[in-house]
Amino acid sequence: MGTEIERKFLVRGTPWRAGAAGVRYCQGYLNLSPARTVRVRTRGGRGFLTVKGPVHGGVRREYEYEIPVADAREMLKELCEKPLIIKDRYTIGYKGFVWVVDQFHGENSGLVVAEIELEHQGQEVPLPDWVGGEVTGDHRYANASLVRHPYAQWKEVLMPGGQGQGGEHGG
């Protein structure tokens, strides 16, 4: 059984881009139920099908399978809810940890978030200077939520604690 334990943060500015190379992702959802999501994704000329369970205390079950890229592209076009999630994903090492930064495009253009997967809950993680407010528990930032409520439709994005955030979000 696969599990996912991750934390998600907004990103400030652009220093994270130094030396980072991005890969284009296109993903869509066949099912957006809170109890389970079923996602189709293409990245780097490959296709994937992912099933995720509900989040319980920051942990959830996750199963991912490679599928033929032609099938993934057809499902994205014909079966997935719109808009599709289009983003460039960057992998950045920092103090022995691997961060993933997603820069969104299309209906979610302007949104930039960083995620880090943990080995266990409560694991201490050093935060790079470009990491902003934590949004782990804020469902608006989940990719599945961005299909139903794209970032372009948000009137104002608030940092945790109610502080308004301007410019590129995360920062």
Q: Which stretches of 8-107 are DSSP H helices?
A: 69-78
Cα–Cα distances (Å) from 39 to 62, 66, 159, in that order, read 11, 12, 28
Give pLDDT, residue 165: 40
Give pLDDT, residue 157: 52
Record the tokens describing residue 163, joined without a space.
């502080």
Query: Taking a C-beta distance cutoff of 8 angstroms, is the pair 114, 8 a contact?
Result: yes
pTM over 0.75: yes
pLDDT per position in the chain (171 positions), as tens? Answer: 577 788 999 999 999 998 788 999 999 999 998 889 999 999 989 999 999 998 777 788 999 999 999 999 999 999 999 999 999 999 999 999 999 999 999 999 999 999 999 988 888 999 999 999 999 989 899 999 999 999 999 965 544 444 334 334 444
CB proximity list for 110: less than 8 A, separation 6 or greater: 104, 151, 152, 168, 169
Handedness of CA 64, 17, 117, 54 (dihedral sign): negative
State how far Cα 61 lies from the chain centre: 16
> Which residue in 25, 29, 141, 151 is the catalytic one?
29
Question: Domain 3-153 belongs to what architecture?
Answer: Beta Barrel (2.40)
Is 29 an annotated catalytic residue? yes
